[in-house]
A = this chain, B = another copy of it.
Amino acid sequence: MEGESLRRARLDGEVRADNPYSRLMALKRMGVVADYERIREICVCIVGVGGVGSVAAEMLTRCGVGKLILFDYDKVELANMNRLFFRPEQSGLSKVDAAVQTLKNINPDVQFEAYNYDVTLMANFEHFIGRIEHGGLKSDAPSNDESAESNSRVDLVLSCVDNFAARNAINAACNELGQIWMESGVSEDAVSGHIQLMIPGKLACFACAPPLVVASEIDEKTLKREGVCAASLPTTMGIVAGMLVQNTLKLLLQFGHVSDYLGYSAMTDFFPTMTLRPNPQCSDRHCVKQQAAYKATEHERQAAAALRDRLAAEAKLAEEQQPLHEENEWGICVEDSSESHGAAAPSNAQTSTQQSANLVAPGLRFAYDAPPPDADAHTTASAPSAAKASDADELSDLMAQLKGL
């Protein structure tokens, strides 16, 4: 218990050489992340602790994530040494044990749960889906089942596996639970990779547009040849892990834009983005169910988005009406060089009209006429000059009208 409170207390922003969180808490001061401390409540599940998964786990550990749940059934080999993370002396250890050993040492504040098994085996599937459903850090999750564990589900599942069967297993579990996950992959020639966000019902799942091998139900193991291995590079895998965890942080700590799909082509330094919508004919029945559920709540989402837009517009307007610099210790002011005061006060409707009448250089004219100053604001709502609306109340009226259109 004492250890626990010591742990949490360490997430402060003070700039000291012995504070491992000062550079992370600086994200708040710089205005990048509103609430960085929230990372302590986040639990991420990583399936596959190889070239991408191990680096993703290390990044999240160093960022101070609350908890990691790791799955892998492989052992560390010297043949893995061309990728980051594992060390030669860990050869022979299971990847999850070696990873937890290294990660706990790097950041003892993070909780770890590790499972050394193959998620594609039916015998393990119930346990696997159970850890996604109840492995989270919050214990206030509503539950209809009296016998269920009281903990909440994990916040995100990251797929860092190297085969289709494992992706299918993660996909099946997350579709059933409606659990958001991110997929990652690196090509066999080591020079391209991708990450993909999977929001059940909203975005394509792995079964919505499966690779040909999966769609043809060919056993991918039959495609491997004796004495031949895939190429890999620490660079490509490090970049893919970086893209994966960066988008994880953006999604869970709510900053920036989260990419639905982000590719990487090393040969040309090309990073394509795109969005894949779900397939109504998806072979996964849980995906089809999630699609229906997503459609059913479309109306609520639109209402929420409209509210968000209105609040943002109001906040923006309020901010624009604030002076740019609160303090003005040097007494700097904008000099009034025009007769009509137009340049310094564009939000005044009367001045705006004068602008349109008088302030045009020879040979130029305004594309639109401003309405006379006594015009009813409501009738001008959809005209391009509506931006001059002078107070927040008026703006919400306009927003309501726009929605009604």
Chain A contacts to B: CB under 8 angstroms: 14-24, 26-27, 29-32, 55, 58-59, 62-64, 77-79, 81-84, 87-89, 91, 105-107, 188-191, 227-236, 238-239, 241-243, 245-247, 249-250, 255-257, 259, 262, 266-269, 271, 273
Contacts and interface: CB of A to CB of B under 8 A. Distances in A.
A381 to B, nearest CB: 32
29 contacts: A15-B227, A17-B78, A18-B78, A19-B79, A20-B81, A23-B83, A23-B229, A24-B231, A24-B233, A26-B229, A26-B232, A29-B228, A30-B231, A31-B189, A32-B189, A55-B84, A58-B234, A59-B84, A62-B234, A63-B82, A87-B105, A89-B105, A234-B242, A239-B242, A239-B243, A246-B266, A255-B267, A269-B271, A271-B271
A250 B259 CA distance: 27
A357 B257 CA distance: 56
A273 B18 CA distance: 38
A236 B229 contact: no
A20 B78 contact: yes
Closest 3 CB pairs of A and B: A256-B267, A26-B231, A239-B242
A82 B62 contact: yes
Given A83-B62, A106-B88, A259 B249 contact: no
A373 to B, nearest CB: 40
B236 A242 contact: yes
Give the residue among A78, A229, A269 with the most B Cβ atoms within 10 A: A269
A21 B231 contact: no
Contact of A22 (B22, B84, B89, B229): B229
B246 A236 contact: yes
Give the residue among A63, A88, A242, A259 with the most B Cβ atoms within 10 A: A242
Contacts of A269: 243, 247, 257, 259, 262, 271, 273
A26 B230 contact: yes
Nearest to A75: B17
Given A20-B79, A23-B83, A23-B232, 19 more contacts: A15-B228, A18-B77, A18-B79, A19-B78, A20-B78, A23-B190, A26-B190, A30-B189, A55-B238, A58-B234, A59-B84, A59-B235, A59-B238, A63-B82, A84-B84, A238-B238, A243-B269, A256-B266, A257-B269
Contact of A249 (B32, B107, B233): B233
A27 B186 CA distance: 14
Contacts of A255: 267
Given A17-B78, A78-B20, A246-B239, A189 B62 contact: no
Contacts of A59: 84, 234-235, 238
Contacts of A31: 189
Contact of A23 (B55, B79, B91, B106): B79
Contacts of A190: 23, 26-27, 30, 32
Nearest to A229: B15
Contacts of A26: 190, 228-232
Contacts of A239: 238-239, 242-243, 246
A303 to B, nearest CB: 27
B23 A231 contact: yes
Contacts of A247: 269
Contacts of A89: 105
A330 B256 CA distance: 56
B84 A107 contact: no
A188 to B, nearest CB: 7
A317 B238 CA distance: 39
Contact of A81 (B88, B107, B242, B268): B107
A20 B229 CA distance: 12
A272 to B, nearest CB: 10
Contacts of A235: 59, 63, 242, 245-246, 249
